[in-house]
């Protein structure tokens, strides 16, 4: 089992889970994905940025949930049948990401992968690590560590801190 | 098991032993007659030595070896170690601690104090070897003289029976056979150590070194034991058990003690021998029994020895957390079953009985798992004795440290984080709090000795740890002036007393005129504050000039069940710890007051309480329902009472506190979350931050 994984690793380097936000297709490296669950009720945490939907109960663990649409400045959309939460492991912690629809897992050939464009997208390219072409579609591969790693985390905390100090004054 | 893993285990064990040594030595200082405690210490050091050598930690091994010798002396001697010697031992423990660290880091240097401390120990050893050892050397040297003149024939004449005539009044004859393994020296023993110890309880009449079993010169290895068998004829008034004690630390197959009775009762000898062999077998195989057998005539020691027979199991705390989460899920699943409408419609006694049973068992499991993480604060407090002792010595003040509420249980993770802040505060109290001049204390009508009280107790859903000294108190003016000087505050700031006191926990603040080695290096109490805040606690300082100061560490009961009041505000569910709630009420219109048109107050009987609107406080919305049409919850926190305005009370429920994770650790007004019966998360309000 372990051996298989080790041998299989290099082959799977370009395997992505793809999902939709609006009409655009995004991907995350399959190794970062822990699981996909149907949309469930979240609890809003006061005084956090809007894109932080809140927290939810994942089998006894409370994890943060991020609304990807709001993170990417897209209009809010009520959850429907396809709305899903992709649980991603970032720096050892699980975070849920709400997406419109989960598509599939794709294997992309190395030659079909390119660097992200410098402009032309309405999304901050900092979060897009590369572009992948697959079956005439272009997948934007997200770098979720950049999206919600240490830096963002600090941002959330400092945001809280400023509200704290404002209140105390 | 890999060597690396073994090493890890050793390091863990060693750390534990060292911690215990610290505490034990201090306790020994209080009661130097407690030999069983000294034995305990000796055993700890001995274990350390064995493992240190096994892992090639030579510096540690060397140091511990001498340390052990010094301890061993006091074990057998009548005299108790002096305060200086205890100091040396305590220093020794520090050196051991540091040496272990160096060994782990593979740092080739000798830690600070290593050489000095070892010298000190050598000095103790030199002094003691002069007096009592002389006699022993004399006896053994005559023995040796005999031995050296031996030849093959003579040895054949060695018969233990021949020594009966040498017995003095009420002495008994024993034949002790030593069959030490090759590695006995590496384990820190040699034959002469046992000769010496035996001489302490009796007379060695003769020793017979079996030369046939000694290897030839070519294979001689100084590090190995070459004497495979040594027989000792031993005359003593002591009992078999007392002799056995000397061999406590060698393997059972490495020695044999035979009680020799006069020839007339040869049969008896065999019987005795059998019994004794049995004894050895049982004693070695079942440690607890061994302790009791050996010490039946020593009540004190029996007590000390029986305690460790409670067996402990080490578990990775991560596994506990996982178990904890699973139990949480179990509780939710059980709640679901219990509240399920379809199941409720099944009118079957068996089904309802089973569901009832399930809920009972679930609660039981939940409680038990919960208690696994809670440990008494006793050990942490005990460690503080050492801290208090060291710092009082350094600044030359006599201190009496009183411990209270040591049985208060707190979460294991908090125990670990608590140690350093406590050390800091205690040092601070001794260094700055207690008067340097005992005359000054006497004049103020206090005891000559400074009192520092360390106590722990529960209050209002929190655990409070108090460090209280009866020193001169904090000089408010001085603190205020200093804070101004350092630019921590501006002259316009209006500060309450407690705010002034809390200034001393600001970074870069130190009022000590003389910067001492102990505290007052400027990196002081702000570290305490940050580390306590790290475990979601806080520090409060109160002080009275001339009477003393109190540092209160207020800690939450994390990972524990709390009894919560479920409230709703703007369709959201929140939990208020019931312990903070005094009452809830719907006020009359007439009792509501609004000051300056903004701040709102409500009169509850004699008191005027400020109103905090939860929806505003948490920025849920801007709705402003009439106070007299809402529900108010009267809550008391550290600062006082206030009325929290909510939409609705839902009910009381026991909930499991869960952290929201570091993303939300700083969120104001919220201390955690809890998974409710429907699987959703409700936020637990942080009462301290609401008003």
User: Which residue in this structure is represented by tokens 């294979």?
Assistant: B219
Distance of CA B230 to the CA centre of its chain: 43
Tell me if A55 and B618 make a contact (CB, 8 A cut-off). no
Q: Which of A45, A156, A163 comes nearest B683 by C-beta?
A: A45
List CB contacts (< 8 A) between B681 and chain A: 42-43, 54-57, 62
Asked if B487 and B477 sit in the same domain, the reply is yes
Q: Which residue of B has its CA nearest to A60?
A: B325
Average pLDDT, chain B: 76
Phi-psi region for residue B273, left (φ > 0), alpha (ψ -120 to 50) or beta? alpha
Q: Is the pLDDT of residue B288 over 50?
A: no
Q: How does residue B485 score in pLDDT terms, banded at 50, 70 and 90?
A: confident
Interface membership of B148 toward A (CB under 8 Å): no
Tell me if B665 and A157 make a contact (CB, 8 A cut-off). yes
Asked if B419 and B498 sit in the same domain, the reply is yes
CA distance A166 to A94: 31
Q: How does residue B157 score in pLDDT terms, banded at 50, 70 and 90?
A: low
Report residue B291 as tokens.
């302790």
Distance from CA of B644 to the nearest CA of A (A): 17
List CB contacts (< 8 A) between A45 and chain B: 660, 664, 667, 670, 683
pLDDT of residue B270: 52
Of B122, B57, B60, B123, nearest in space to B93 by CA: B60
List CB contacts (< 8 A) between B673 and chain A: 43, 55, 62
List CB contacts (< 8 A) between B324 and chain A: 60
Q: Is the pLDDT of residue B69 over 70?
A: yes
Of B378, B411, B371, nearest in space to B672 by CA: B411
Residue B602: beta bridge partners?
B592, B609
Sheet hosting strand B255-260, strand order edge to edge: B202-209, B230-236, B172-178, B255-260
CA atoms within 13 A on the CB side of B348: 7
User: Which residue in this structure is represented by tokens 């006069």?
Assistant: B262
Residues B259-285, mean pLDDT to the nearest whole number: 52
In this predicted structure, which of B139-148, B292-301, B416-425 has the lowest mean pLDDT? B292-301
Is B293 or B597 the better-scoring residue by pLDDT? B597
Burial degree of B381 (CB within 10 A; 0-12, 13-18, 19+): buried
pLDDT of residue B280: 47
Residues B657-685, mean pLDDT to the nearest whole number: 81
CATH code of the domain in which B582 resides: 2.30.30.40
Q: What residues contact B355, with CB distance under 8 A and at least 6 apart?
A: B337, B338, B343
Q: Is the pLDDT of residue B325 over 80?
A: no
Distance of CA A66 to the CA centre of its chain: 8
Sheet hosting strand B450-459, strand order edge to edge: B399-404, B450-459, B462-469, B548-556, B538-544
Q: Is the pLDDT of residue B82 over 50?
A: yes
Q: Which of B619, B666, B682 comes nearest A43 by C-beta?
A: B682
Q: How does residue B263 score in pLDDT terms, banded at 50, 70 and 90?
A: low
Q: What angle do CA B480, B481, B483 make, to 5 degrees?
A: 65
In chain A, what percentage of residues exceed pLDDT 90? 23
CA distance A85 to A98: 4
ipTM greater than 0.90: no
Q: Which residue of B has its CA nearest to A58?
A: B679
Q: What is the number of structural domains in chain B?
A: 5
CA distance B220 to B214: 9
Tell me if B660 and A164 make a contact (CB, 8 A cut-off). no
B342-393 confidence digits (pLDDT tens): 888 888 888 888 888 988 898 888 778 877 878 888 888 888 888 888 888 8
Is B566 or B428 the better-scoring residue by pLDDT? B566
Task: Please say whether the beta carbons of B533 and B519 come within 8 A.
Answer: no
Question: Domain extents for chain A?
Answer: 14-168
Task: Write the CA distances from B208 to B148, B231, B240, integer angstroms.
Answer: 10, 5, 20
CA distance B280 to B166: 28
CATH code of the domain in which B40 resides: 1.20.120.160
Interface membership of B538 toward A (CB under 8 Å): no
pLDDT of residue B137: 43
List CB contacts (< 8 A) between A161 and chain B: 666
> Does residue B611 sit in helix, strand or coil?
strand
pLDDT of residue A162: 42
List CB contacts (< 8 A) between A41 and chain B: 679-680
In a domain, B307, yes or no: no
Asked if B389 and B528 sit in the same domain, the reply is yes
A19-77 confidence digits (pLDDT tens): 998 888 999 989 889 999 999 889 988 888 888 889 998 877 889 999 988 888 888 88
CA distance B124 to B232: 30
In chain B, what percentage of residues exceed pLDDT 90? 3
CB atoms within 10 A of CB B56: 10
pLDDT of residue A154: 54
pLDDT of residue A12: 60
First to last CA, chain B: 56
B115-132 confidence digits (pLDDT tens): 888 888 888 777 765 544
pLDDT of residue B21: 83
Q: How does residue B48 score in pLDDT terms, banded at 50, 70 and 90?
A: confident
Asked if B549 and B575 sit in the same domain, the reply is no
CB atoms within 10 A of CB B72: 19
pLDDT of residue B185: 77
Mutate to test the interface with B, among A43, A85, A155 (most CBs of B within 10 A): A43
Last-in-domain residue among B373, B392, B419: B373
Q: What residues contact B197, with CB distance under 8 A and at least 6 apart?
A: B76, B246
Of B422, B448, B425, B435, nearest in space to B395 by CA: B435
Tell me if A153 and B662 make a contact (CB, 8 A cut-off). yes
Tell me if A60 and B326 make a contact (CB, 8 A cut-off). yes
Q: Is the pLDDT of residue B304 over 80?
A: no
- Which DSSP letter does residue B430 get? I
Inter-chain Cβ pairs, chain A and chain B, closer than 8 A: 88
CB atoms within 10 A of CB B220: 10
Burial degree of B180 (CB within 10 A; 0-12, 13-18, 19+): buried
Task: Please say whether the beta carbons of B68 and B188 come within 8 A.
Answer: yes
CA atoms within 13 A on the CB side of B581: 21
B188-244 confidence digits (pLDDT tens): 777 777 888 888 888 888 877 777 667 667 777 777 777 778 888 888 888 887 887
Mutate to test the interface with A, among B365, B656, B661, B671 (most CBs of A within 10 A): B661
Tell me if B666 and A161 make a contact (CB, 8 A cut-off). yes
Is B664 or B263 the better-scoring residue by pLDDT? B664
In a domain, B283, yes or no: yes
In a domain, B136, yes or no: no
Task: Please say whether the beta carbons of B260 and B266 come within 8 A.
Answer: no
Report residue B526 as tokens.
């702000």
Asked if B231 and B179 sit in the same domain, the reply is yes
Tell me if A61 and B682 make a contact (CB, 8 A cut-off). no
Q: What residues contact B186, with CB distance under 8 A and at least 6 apart?
A: B53, B223
Q: Is the pLDDT of residue B691 over 80?
A: no
Tell me if B680 and A44 make a contact (CB, 8 A cut-off). no
Asked if B216 and B182 sit in the same domain, the reply is yes
Give the residue numbers spanning the domain of B42: 1-130
Q: Which residue of A has its CA nearest to B621?
A: A46
Task: Please say whether the beta carbons of B433 and B469 come within 8 A.
Answer: yes
Residues B85-109, mean pLDDT to the nearest whole number: 82
Q: How does residue A87 score in pLDDT terms, banded at 50, 70 and 90?
A: very high
CA distance B451 to B448: 9
Measured in residues, chain B has a length of 691
Mutate to test the interface with B, among A39, A53, A57, A167 (most CBs of B within 10 A): A57
> Does residue A19 sit in helix, strand or coil?
strand
Q: Is the pLDDT of residue B435 over 80?
A: yes
CA distance B81 to B124: 10
- Within B373-519, where are the H helices? 378-395, 412-428, 438-443, 476-485, 497-502
Q: Which of B662, B667, B680 comes nearest A41 by C-beta?
A: B680
Q: How does residue B423 score in pLDDT terms, banded at 50, 70 and 90?
A: confident
Q: Which residue of A has its CA nearest to B332?
A: A60
Instruction: Give whichever of A71-85, B158-172, B331-345 has the largest mean pLDDT.
Output: A71-85
Q: Is the pLDDT of residue B610 over 80?
A: yes
Task: Please say whether the beta carbons of B571 and B486 come within 8 A.
Answer: no
Asked if B209 and B80 sit in the same domain, the reply is no
Q: How does residue A100 score in pLDDT terms, banded at 50, 70 and 90?
A: very high
Q: What is the DSSP string of B513-566?
A: SS--SSS-SSSSHHHHHHHHHHTT-EEEEEEETTTEEEEEEEEE-TTSEEEEEE
pLDDT of residue B536: 66
CATH topology of domain A14-168: OB fold (Dihydrolipoamide Acetyltransferase, E2P) (2.40.50)
| Interface list for B 332-371 with A (CB within 8 A) | 332
pLDDT of residue B321: 76
pLDDT of residue A160: 45
Chain A interface, Cβ < 8 Å to B: 40-48, 52, 54-57, 59-64, 93, 95, 153, 156-157, 160-161, 163-164, 167
Report residue B680 as tokens.
């959703």
Q: How does residue B689 score in pLDDT terms, banded at 50, 70 and 90?
A: confident
Q: Is the pLDDT of residue A163 over 50?
A: no
- Within B202-286, where are the H helices? 240-246, 266-285
Asked if B642 and B520 sit in the same domain, the reply is no
CA distance B638 to B461: 12
Mutate to test the interface with B, among A47, A49, A92 (most CBs of B within 10 A): A47
Tell me if A64 and B679 make a contact (CB, 8 A cut-off). no
CATH code of the domain in which B260 resides: 3.30.70.1110
Instruction: Report, in angstroms and rounded to the nearest whole number, the Rg of chain A calculated over CA atoms.
Output: 17
Q: Which residue of B has its CA nearest to A169?
A: B493
Mutate to test the interface with A, among B333, B663, B683 (most CBs of A within 10 A): B663
Q: How does residue A86 score in pLDDT terms, banded at 50, 70 and 90?
A: very high
Mutate to test the interface with B, among A51, A55, A163 (most CBs of B within 10 A): A55
In this predicted structure, which of B89-93, B140-144, B307-311, B478-482 has the lowest mean pLDDT? B140-144
């Amino acid at each position: 089992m372990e051996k298989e994984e080790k041998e299989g690793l290099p082959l799977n380097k370009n395997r992505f889970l793809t999902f939709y936000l609006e009409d655009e297709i995004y991907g995350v490296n399959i190794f970062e994905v822990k699981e996909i669950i149907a949309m469930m009720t979240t609890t809003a945490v006061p005084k956090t940025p809007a894109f932080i939907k809140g927290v939810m109960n994942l089998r006894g663990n409370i994890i943060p949930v991020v609304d990807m649409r709001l993170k990417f400045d897209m209009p809010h959309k009520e959850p429907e049948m396809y709305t899903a939460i992709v649980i991603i492991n970032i720096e050892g912690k699980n975070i849920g990401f709400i997406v419109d629809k989960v598509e599939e897992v794709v294997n992309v050939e190395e030659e079909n992968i390119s660097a992200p464009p410098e402009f032309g997208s309405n999304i901050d390219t900092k979060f897009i690590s590369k572009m992948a072409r697959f079956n005439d579609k272009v997948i934007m591969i997200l770098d979720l560590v950049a999206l919600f790693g240490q830096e963002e985390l600090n941002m959330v905390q400092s945001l809280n801190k400023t509200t704290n100090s404002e209140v105390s004054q | 098991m890999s060597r690396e893993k073994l090493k890890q285990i050793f390091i863990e064990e060693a750390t534990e032993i060292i911690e215990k040594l610290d505490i034990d030595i201090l306790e020994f200082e209080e009661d130097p007659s407690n030999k069983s405690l000294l034995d305990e210490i000796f055993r700890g050091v001995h274990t350390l030595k064995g493992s240190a050598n096994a892992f090639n930690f030579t510096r540690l091994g060397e140091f511990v070896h001498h340390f052990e010798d010094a301890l061993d002396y006091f074990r057998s001697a009548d005299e108790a170690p002096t305060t200086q010697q205890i100091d040396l031992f305590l220093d020794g423990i520090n050196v051991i601690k540091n040496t272990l660290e160096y060994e782990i880091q593979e740092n080739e240097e000798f830690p600070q104090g290593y050489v000095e401390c070892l010298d000190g120990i050598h000095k103790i050893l030199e002094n003691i070897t002069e007096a009592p050892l002389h006699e022993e050397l004399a006896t053994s040297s005559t023995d040796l003289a005999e031995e050296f003149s031996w030849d093959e024939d003579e040895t054949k004449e060695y018969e233990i029976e021949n020594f009966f005539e040498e017995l003095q009044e009420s002495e008994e004859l024993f034949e002790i056979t030593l069959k030490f393994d090759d590695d006995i020296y590496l384990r820190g023993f040699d034959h002469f150590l046992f000769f010496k110890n035996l001489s302490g309880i009796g007379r060695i009449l003769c020793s017979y070194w079996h030369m046939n079993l000694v290897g030839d010169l070519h294979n001689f290895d100084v590090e190995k034991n070459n004497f495979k068998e040594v027989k000792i004829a031993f005359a003593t008034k002591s009992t078999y058990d007392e002799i056995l004690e000397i061999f406590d630390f060698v393997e059972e197959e490495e020695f044999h003690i035979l009680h020799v009775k006069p020839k007339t009762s040869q049969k008896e000898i065999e019987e005795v021998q059998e019994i004794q062999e049995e004894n050895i077998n049982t004693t070695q195989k079942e440690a607890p029994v061994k302790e009791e057998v050996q010490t039946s005539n020593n009540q004190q020691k029996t007590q000390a020895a029986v305690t460790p027979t409670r067996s402990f199991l080490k578990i990775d705390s991560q596994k506990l957390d996982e178990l904890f989460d699973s139990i949480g899920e179990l509780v939710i699943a059980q709640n679901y079953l219990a509240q399920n409408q379809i199941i409720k419609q099944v009118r079957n006694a068996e089904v309802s009985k089973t569901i009832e049973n399930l809920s009972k068992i679930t609660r039981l499991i939940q409680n038990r798992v919960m208690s696994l993480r809670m440990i008494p604060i006793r050990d942490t407090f005990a460690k503080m004795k050492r801290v208090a002792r060291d710092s009082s010595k350094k600044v030359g003040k006599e201190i009496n440290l009183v411990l209270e509420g040591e049985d208060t249980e707190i979460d294991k993770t908090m125990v670990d984080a608590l140690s350093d802040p406590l050390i800091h505060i205690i040092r601070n109290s001794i260094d700055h709090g207690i008067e340097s001049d005992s005359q000054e204390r006497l004049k103020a009508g206090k005891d000559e000795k400074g009192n520092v009280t360390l106590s722990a107790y529960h209050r209002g859903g929190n655990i409070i740890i108090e460090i209280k000294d009866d020193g001169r108190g904090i000089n408010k003016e001085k603190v205020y002036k200093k804070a101004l000087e350092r630019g921590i505050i501006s002259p316009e700031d209006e500060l309450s007393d407690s705010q002034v006191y809390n200034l001393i926990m600001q970074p870069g603040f130190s009022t000590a005129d003389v910067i001492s080695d102990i505290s007052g290096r400027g990196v002081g109490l702000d570290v305490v504050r940050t580390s306590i805040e790290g475990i979601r606690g806080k520090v409060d300082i109160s002080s009275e000039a001339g009477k003393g100061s109190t540092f209160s560490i207020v800690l939450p009961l994390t990972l524990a069940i709390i009894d919560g009041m479920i409230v709703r505000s703007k369709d959201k569910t929140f939990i208020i710890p019931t312990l903070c709630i005094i009452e809830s009420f719907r006020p009359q219109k007439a009792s509501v007051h609004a000051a300056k048109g903004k701040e709102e107050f409500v009169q509850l009987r004699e008191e005027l309480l400020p109103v905090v609107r939860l929806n505003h406080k948490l920025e849920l919305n801007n709705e402003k329902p009439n106070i007299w049409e809402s529900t108010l919850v009267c809550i008391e926190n550290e600062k006082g009472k206030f009325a929290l305005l909510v939409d609705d009370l839902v009910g009381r429920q026991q909930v499991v506190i869960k952290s929201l994770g570091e993303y939300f650790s700083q969120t104001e007004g919220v201390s955690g979350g809890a998974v409710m019966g429907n699987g959703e998360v409700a936020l637990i309000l942080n009462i301290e931050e609401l008003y």
